[in-house]
Amino acid sequence: MGNTTMIRPSLLAIVLALTAGAALAQASPEPDVIKALKACSAIKADGERLACYDKAAQSVAKAQETGEVIIIDKQSARAARRQAFGLELPTLSILDRGADKAETETLQAVIKLARTDAEGRLVMTLEDGAVWRQIDDQTLGKPPKPGVTVEIRKAAMGSYRMKIGSQPPIRVRRSEAPPAR
């Protein structure tokens, strides 16, 4: 669980940066500093091309230091996408670049805690802290236990289907985490 704690602040930073720059990202999908870096490859003379790359690299480094440009590797994007799975955050779609469809539409996780709410519907907390609530009236033959692996798949109307073991899937929606105690 220590790893999850480290991912959350970075996810928050990515969400805030992407949310703040969403309008800019639509107008210009590629930052100017990246365009300048790519333009260097068109220069024929070795010395001029090298000088161009040096200048562009400094601009990229400065933009990253100031937060104007955020650079994340595929592994960090995968971790952030996994943590945000089920949340309605359209600005995070940038994290889907290079991901296969299974990675963006399916999640396998392990139940940490399962309970029923006042309406008799399941509320499950996964090991990563994500809370999922049942939104249909499907009754399971056996209540889920901690340690059981679940598979969650995107479904219609912003909901998801959670398969718990060999039982029929139930319709669920990601919920805000309960307040820390």
Tens-level pLDDT at each residue, the chain (181 residues):
444 334 344 444 444 444 444 433 444 478 888 888 899 999 999 999 999 999 999 988 888 888 887 777 778 777 777 677 776 655 555 555 555 666 668 889 999 999 999 998 999 999 988 999 999 999 888 889 999 999 999 887 777 999 998 899 999 988 865 544 4
Tokens of 111: 């139940």
pTM of the model: 0.54
pLDDT at 48: 93
pLDDT at 93: 58
101 contact partners, CB below 8 Å, separation of at least 6:
none
pLDDT at 16: 41
36 contact partners, CB below 8 Å, separation of at least 6:
55, 56, 59
pLDDT at 21: 44
pLDDT at 179: 47
CA distances 180 to 22, 120, 129, 177, Å, are: 31, 23, 11, 8
CA dist., res. 156 & res. 131, Å (int): 19
Domain edges within the chain: 2-99, 102-175
